[in-house]
Structure 1
Amino acid sequence: MASKSHFLFFLLLSIFCLKSSSWSLLDTERDYSRWVSWNVNNHQKRAMLVAKSTVQTPGADGKLVLDGKLRQAEMNSVRVTVSQDGTGDFKTITEAIYSIPPYNTRRVIIAIKPGVYREKIFIPRTVPFVTFLGDSSEPPTITGNDTASVSGKDGKPLRTYQSATVAVDANYFVAINMKFENCHLNSIAKKVASLTAQKRSNSSLASGFSFKDSTITGSGLIYLGRAWGDYSRVIFSYTFMDKIILPQGWNDWGDQRRDSRVYYGEYKCTGPGANLTGRVAWARVLTDEEARPFIGTYYVEGDTWLISP
């Protein structure tokens, strides 16, 4: 699904597939925490809602449970094309998104022709039911180079929350056959730093970071993650880790009470940095069963909204 520098994006990841060489250790923005938590809703609560309002429709496995709103949007779907050579409806992805009316109720499939799209893309909460569809034989690439320290239009640093190359605040977003470039994680830390800082403030939240098929390299010494929240949750699976990873692997950010609350896991990772000798006792080496929820579509309730275009 991924190469060393490209993620074939199935969903999200707005979030994790950006070029950001500056994960700020002191960045404690509340908006960013809410953004991450929103993207991965509480599974139990969501399951109850789905049970009350679902329909059966053909899917990849012969049966798919769809959210009622999505079913209605699918019945009235529309398709537009983005092509940089001018042969489509739009030349940029941003133009296609701007063409969608606020509070849209139809599924809008944006068919994106091959090419490298250097855009900063934002899909607001008022524009749901958007699907990015690339060519499976030659997936288009979306790339950008903002970091937390880059100045925005107001002259102030963007900070982490606004540095995303692709940010999606809307419900029912899907990306198929797309490459989100520069998800290669490269540390440039001069002092000891942390690759992730996930803020999960209570155990009922289903939020977390899950990295799969990734590569971690760089020049500094880093922790895989630090406990920004009391119940921080981060999982790395099938990830190559260079020697820059500190033996301890994880940091409780000076609060030992978090050692029994956080959920930090590694699963079938490789490379010198994946050597588990010296790992903190409260980190987890996940079993197949423990890893399964984080490496498939279950974690984001894919059965309720992942459908073919």
Structure 2
Amino acid sequence: MHSSALSKIHLKIRLPMISRLFLLILLFKIASSSFSRNGSNRVVVIEEAYLNWIKQMGSLTHSLFKKGENKLKPCLTITVNKDPRSGDFVTIQKAIDSLPEVNLCRVVISIHAGTYREKVEIPATKAYVSLEGEGSDKTIIEWDDTADRLGLNGRPLGTFASATFAVNSPYFIAKNITFKNKAPLPPSGALGKQAVALRISADTAALVGCKFIGAQDTLYDHIGRHYFRECYIEGSVDFIFGNGLSLYEGCHLHAITNSYGALTAQKRESMLEETGFSFVNCKVTGSGALYLGRAWGTFSRVVFAYTYMDKIITPRGWYNWGDKKRELTVFYGQYECSGPGSDFGGRVPWSRELTQQEAKPFISLSFIDGYEWLSNLKL
């Protein structure tokens, strides 16, 4: 191979030496049937194979999701007010319980200002529920469960059941509400202190102008396609985590740790899973030393684009969860980010500074098929 061509490949493949060798060997095998005796042709084939690999890592065909068919015109509006004389219900859970077991039309639950201390869950069959608060600083839903707290069966709740608010139904919408887990910030290394403010375990959810307040594991972005717009998310360790396919647009991510923490822990487990987190036009601030993400899943996928990063972001940026093999399979990238924490020079070599072409699939509503189920939503 010509030395100039080799240097070009090394610039494009930002992987550690072992990873590069592994990838090059793999690409040689993939392309072996196309190799000619001409060395320059070999370089072209390897370069094309590598770009195809990047395309596959970034591809989002969403074949595993059905077409989103939202219902936005309300068939019913009910109110929740702590004053029983001024609303239909005094608790949010009772308002949800009043809906049909199989709900098939859009129901708007208008929640008046106040702090609602309750643990809330929306069952899987009650789709098309909208919650509308009077402002994220005025309408607050809070509880304080942690993963190690004992449930009614005498066993620890676990992270999943620690959520203050849990959504199991599709087409959920929330506007102008704070979801809060009041459990205190745990000491570094403490076990069983995961404390979820909101868990979304359903497809096609939109949350606008909301706040998610907690410490460890604040927002459980569990499964499904989700859209967060102009939200505030506060936490310490892995405070946005799960295996959702989610777009965060114009959100403020704020760390509250005095030691090491992590913003994301995305759990994509294979190349067949069409999941990942994308942060576009966001802002990262706070205290401590923060990783952009930890590779909870072997094929974890997270992208930051046009995002301001304060100096709290550790120069390396990403953590492999203690498993070097994951460095070969994760997809971590940033594009056109700014601020003192955005400098790509010190990043781990298995993350990427994306090109415009590579970033394109991650920075619009098409990332979550949003043009199908969000296009007529008044945000």
Q: TM-score, normalised by structure 1?
A: 0.65
What amino acid is aligned across from residue 366 of structure 2 in structure 1?
Y
Choose the corresponding residue for 2:62, options 44, 67, 84: 44
> Is 1:114–1:139's contact at 8 Å kept on the other side of the alignment?
yes
> Is 2:77–2:108's contact at 8 Å kept on the other side of the alignment?
yes
Partner of residue 176, structure 1: 175
Q: CA 1:288 to 1:164, structure 2 compared with 1: closer, same or farther past 3 Å?
A: farther
Displacement of 1:288 after TM fit? 5.5
Partner of residue 119, structure 2: 120
Q: Larger deviation: 104-113 or 175-184? A: 175-184
Q: CA 1:205 to 1:113, structure 2 compared with 1: closer, same or farther past 3 Å?
A: same
Q: CA 1:115 to 1:250, structure 2 compared with 1: closer, same or farther past 3 Å?
A: same
Partner of residue 164, structure 1: 163
When the two chains are superposed, the root-mean-square deviation of aligned CA atoms in Å is 3.4
> Is 1:142–1:181's contact at 8 Å kept on the other side of the alignment?
no
> Is 1:243–1:273's contact at 8 Å kept on the other side of the alignment?
yes
Displacement of 1:77 after TM fit? 1.9
Q: Count how many residue pairs are aligned between Structure 1 and Structure 2.
A: 247
2-structure distance, mates of 1:142, 1:189: 23
Q: CA 1:167 to 1:265, structure 2 compared with 1: closer, same or farther past 3 Å?
A: farther
Q: TM-score, normalised by structure 2?
A: 0.55
2-structure distance, mates of 1:276, 1:162: 38
Q: Please give the secondary structure, in 1, of the residue aligned with 2:89.
A: coil
Do structure 1's residue 234 and structure 2's residue 302 form an aligned pair?
yes
Larger Cα-atom Rg: 2
What amino acid is aligned across from residue 265 of structure 2 in structure 1?
A
Q: Please give the secondary structure, in 2, of the residue aligned with 1:299.
A: helix
Partner of residue 258, structure 1: 326
**Which of structures 1 and 2 has the larger relative contact order (alpha carbons within 8 angstroms, sep 6+)?**
1
Q: CA 1:113 to 1:192, structure 2 compared with 1: closer, same or farther past 3 Å?
A: closer
Structure 1: gaps spanning 5 or more residues: 1-41, 51-65
Do structure 1's residue 218 and structure 2's residue 236 form an aligned pair?
no
> Is 2:318–2:348's contact at 8 Å kept on the other side of the alignment?
yes
Structure 2: gaps spanning 5 or more residues: 1-59, 178-209, 214-232, 238-255
Identity %: 43
Q: CA 1:171 to 1:257, structure 2 compared with 1: closer, same or farther past 3 Å?
A: same
Partner of residue 276, structure 1: 344
Q: CA 1:263 to 1:94, structure 2 compared with 1: closer, same or farther past 3 Å?
A: same
- How does 1:184-223 map onto structure 2 within 5 Å? 184-187=234-237, 192=260, 194-211=262-279, 213-219=282-288, 221-223=289-291
2-structure distance, mates of 1:145, 1:286: 40
Partner of residue 35, structure 1: none
Q: Larger deviation: 256-265 or 223-232? A: 256-265
2-structure distance, mates of 1:199, 1:298: 21
Q: Larger deviation: 129-138 or 259-268? A: 129-138
What amino acid is aligned across from residue 217 of structure 1 in structure 2?
G
> Is 2:236–2:261's contact at 8 Å kept on the other side of the alignment?
no
Do structure 1's residue 84 and structure 2's residue 82 form an aligned pair?
yes
In proportion to residue count, which structure has more strand?
2
